[in-house]
Amino acid sequence: MKQDNILVLDLGSHDNTKITRLIRDCGVYSEIKPHDITAQEIATLNVKGIILNGGENNMIDGNEIDVNPEIYDLGIPVYAVGHKLAKVNNKTAWANTDEEIKEELKTFIFNDCQAEANWNMTNFINDQVEIIRNQVGDRKVLLALSGGVDSSVVAALLIKAIGKQLVCVHVNHGLMRKGESEDVIEVFRNQLDANLVYVDAVDRFLGKLENVNDPEQKRKIIGAEFIRVFEEEARKLDGIEFLAQGTIYPDIIESGTKTAKVVKSHHNVGGLPEDLQFQLVEPLYQLFKDEVRACGEELGLPHDMVYRQPFPGPGLGVRCLGAITRERLTALREADAILREEFASHGLDKKVWQYFTVIPEFKSVGVKNNARCYEYPIILRAVNTIDAMTATIEQIEWPILLKITDRILNEVPNVNRVCYDLTPKPCGTIEWE
């Protein structure tokens, strides 16, 4: 780590992430570490300042936690924020608003610590290229490239660092949105000259999913089949020693700190058999999502790829309700493409967090070309949220809704009705399955 680092030590606060974010906003790298980090570990991290972030969860096994006293002997400025830290003999900040906290933090990091504002994506990329080259040498790295933000940025970074030593495997499971696999091929194979293996597994996935109604069962089949396809491709390739993953900083934070009550395990391509284990390359593990996007742009990835809305791993499989049929899947994909096109042309793609279409299993009666028809409805959903835990509905203007409806009814076969889902989360989830 060449950039100056301000450590936020977790003494049971809920807002470690917020403090870290505020420091990075000032152009200085910051990361969260457990309260009992040793002076030895700190010495390896280019640390310019230490923030003790106290809070409510400051008891472990009935004992109040504290830092290793040896950290005060490192000659690194220490600053306490939060409460219940009377024991600390340094200054204590009692700031309230984010702006006030930021001002306090600025004074600390630039005056007391003399830190340099050298955290930016150019420096990050240069550092990572060197780190990846040192780690990998002349060996090969495998990456499951879905075309999502994280895997695309990992791919672009690794291509810059090791070129064709990176082998990207893109599995088209037949549940991608319109044009998505084509975009992956265009950007990575044609523009970035990547070593890309494209696997057309459409029939295989849709075959396994035939007549499967239960949503959980569908997800399990898609997940398990993905691992199987990926495993088969990995076995065909010789001499791969590394597996790259798009792990990002929130995954690391969510995996738990010592004081966090909820510990969530994370793994991306987990579940590979014992005899097929690789060393991991996770170059984005320090980045928050917006930094991942900035990194992708800096690496020259197309804006749309880097800023695309979240899309579930099981893809359109969770939006084609009940047992998936090719007929309904095609209608869903075409309707989704129209929704995305219209959102983009009205600037809603930059405003709305997530928007998509859903197709149920039932039909209803309608009239088309003066004749009775019995066809599927398409449901539109457009939500805003910060963390996907709760969500509100975007109030789309009527003319835009009517245009989307008109286009879907005229352009998508087997659809004779369009509905707009007005349900916030809770009580509706964002997805329907």
- Residues near ligand XMP (CB under 6 A) are 310, 312-314, 318, 354, 388, 425, 429-431
Answer yes or no: are the C-beta atoms of 58 and 32 closer than 8 Å: no
The single residue listed with the structure tokens 């405003």 is: 351
Task: Decide whether 240 or 388 has the Cβ nearer to ligand XMP.
Answer: 388
Q: What is the closest distance, in whole angstroms, from the C-beta atom of residue 271 to ligand XMP in the complex?
A: 14
Beta bridge partners of 81: 53, 93
Q: Residue 303 half-sphere exposure, CB side, CA atoms within 13 Å? A: 3
Answer yes or no: are the C-beta atoms of 400 and 351 closer than 8 Å: no
Answer yes or no: are the C-beta atoms of 383 and 422 closer than 8 Å: no
Task: Decide whether 383 or 408 has the Cβ nearer to ligand XMP.
Answer: 383
Task: Decide whether 272 or 388 has the Cβ nearer to ligand XMP.
Answer: 388
Q: How far apart are CA 266 and CA 268, in angstroms?
A: 7
Beta bridge partners of 239: none
Q: What is the closest distance, in whole angstroms, from the C-beta atom of residue 186 to ligand XMP in the complex?
A: 23
Q: How far apart are CA 134 and CA 138, in angstroms?
A: 9
Would you put residue 254 in left (φ > 0), alpha (ψ -120 to 50) or beta? alpha
Task: Decide whether 218 or 407 has the Cβ nearer to ligand XMP.
Answer: 218
Q: What is the closest distance, in whole angstroms, from the C-beta atom of residue 335 to ligand XMP in the complex?
A: 17
Task: Decide whether 313 or 366 has the Cβ nearer to ligand XMP.
Answer: 313
Among 155, 205, 179, 156, CA closest to 317: 205
Q: What is the closest distance, in whole angstroms, from the C-beta atom of residue 430 to ligand XMP in the complex?
A: 3
Q: What is the closest distance, in whole angstroms, from the C-beta atom of residue 254 to ligand XMP in the complex?
A: 13
Would you put residue 386 in left (φ > 0), alpha (ψ -120 to 50) or beta? alpha
Task: Decide whether 216 or 274 has the Cβ nearer to ligand XMP.
Answer: 216
Q: What is the closest distance, in whole angstroms, from the C-beta atom of residue 132 to ligand XMP in the complex?
A: 25
Task: Decide whether 250 or 313 has the Cβ nearer to ligand XMP.
Answer: 313
Q: What is the closest distance, in whole angstroms, from the C-beta atom of residue 126 to ligand XMP in the complex?
A: 30
Q: How far apart are CA 182 and CA 189, in angstroms?
A: 10
Task: Tally Cβ neighbours within 10 Å of residue 326.
Answer: 12
Among 382, 391, 368, CA closest to 419: 382
Q: What is the closest distance, in whole angstroms, from the C-beta atom of residue 313 to ligand XMP in the complex?
A: 4
Task: Decide whether 215 or 377 has the Cβ nearer to ligand XMP.
Answer: 215
Q: How far apart are CA 53 and CA 8, in angstroms?
A: 6
